[in-house]
Amino acid sequence: MKSILFATTALVATAGIAAADVNLTGSAEMGIMGGDGIADQFHTDIDVTFGMSGEADNGLSFGASVDLDEEIGDNNATTGGVESGATRDDTAHGGATMFVAYGGAKLTMGDTDGAFDAAMNEAIIGDSLGDNHEHGGYNGNAGLDGMYDGQIARFDYSFDAFTGYLSAEVDDSGNNDPVWGLGVKYSGELAGLTLGVGLGYQTTDEDNPADEVWGISLDTTFANGIVAIANYSSMNFTAPGAKDMEHWGVAFGYTMNALTVAVNYGEFDNLAGVDGDTSKGWGLIANYDLGGGIEAQFGYGDSEAEIGGVDLDADTYSLGLAMSF
């Protein structure tokens, strides 16, 4: 009886695997890096992602992905310091996302972007091993994401050239209001140019350090291969006497055959809501596609800041090979 049961279980499991769409992707980096206060040193990194997807009889599609550079711990525990990872706490999945979709509608939950970030385009182009083309003036458009546990639910709806976004991140303690997000993106052509426009907004409880952010981004690709991106956002801080923190950034890139070169600049005014504090910087990259999933990458970033009347500056660089599998 046990033999029959085990055989049946194995057959069902095998059938499930055969019917599922499971894919494995990965990346690796090797090279050198350094900068102000950073000794010249070797840089290595590796990342593996499992993606899974399927489709119900009624056309509903579903899927999940997990990033295995995230440390995986005990799924039944909710605390645990260094062991916390992609699956340790069922209420805070780092590196894991799940979705269901039907037609133009899609619901995503887990370690995903809020509506503000999903709608906005970052003012940066190209890649470098240590993200060294990022700097003190770079804004990744995270907005209020991560105010609580980082687990976000986002609903997207796409129609023609437009996509709308609605998101929420809740306070698991129940003490504060959720972070609500709203965004819209347009991707199409205008006067012969490829044009993208993004508008994003997030708001939450006034008891949090920041309670509101809004922003706009514009991007276009010219026929000659030049790409241009502009980004602006404003965040409200709640401390008495705090000022709105403003950020703006621009990026320009050019691709010719296998070579891409790009430069970007960004600046924060009233950093973290402190009147007069600033942080700014610029970065550049050169990427050369060697074909077959391997690319030579160089990146450089320079940062300057004025914090409490004290001037600070730093720069970083990296050079090496990036591989995609």
State the pLDDT at residue 192: 77
pLDDT, mean of residues 8-30: 64
Cα separation of 245 and 143, whole Å?
A: 11
Q: Is residue 15 part of a domain?
A: no
Between these two residues, 208 and 202, which has the higher pLDDT value? 202
**Left if phi > 0, otherwise alpha if psi is -120 to 50, otherwise beta: which for 309?**
left
Q: Is residue 56 part of a domain?
A: yes
Q: Is residue 168 part of a domain?
A: yes
pLDDT tens digits for 95-139? 899 999 999 999 999 999 999 999 999 999 999 998 999 999 999
Cα separation of 106 and 88, whole Å?
A: 26
State the pLDDT at residue 80: 42
Domain with 204 in it: 24-324
Question: What CATH number does the domain containing 175 carry?
Answer: 2.40.160.10
Helices and strands per DSSP (H, E), number in the chain: 2, 16
Q: Dig out the tokens for 106 from the structure.
A: 């899609």
Tell me the whole-structure pTM to 2 decimals.
Answer: 0.85
DSSP 284: E
Q: Is residue 238 part of a domain?
A: yes
**Tokens 């190209």 appear where?**
126
Q: Is residue 2 part of a domain?
A: no
Number of domains into which the chain is organized? 1
State the pLDDT at residue 79: 42
Q: Is residue 183 part of a domain?
A: yes
pLDDT band of 37, cuts 50, 70, 90: confident
Q: Is residue 310 part of a domain?
A: yes
Please give the C-alpha separations between residue 212 and each of 22, 47, 139, 143, in angstroms, as whole numbers. 39, 34, 16, 9
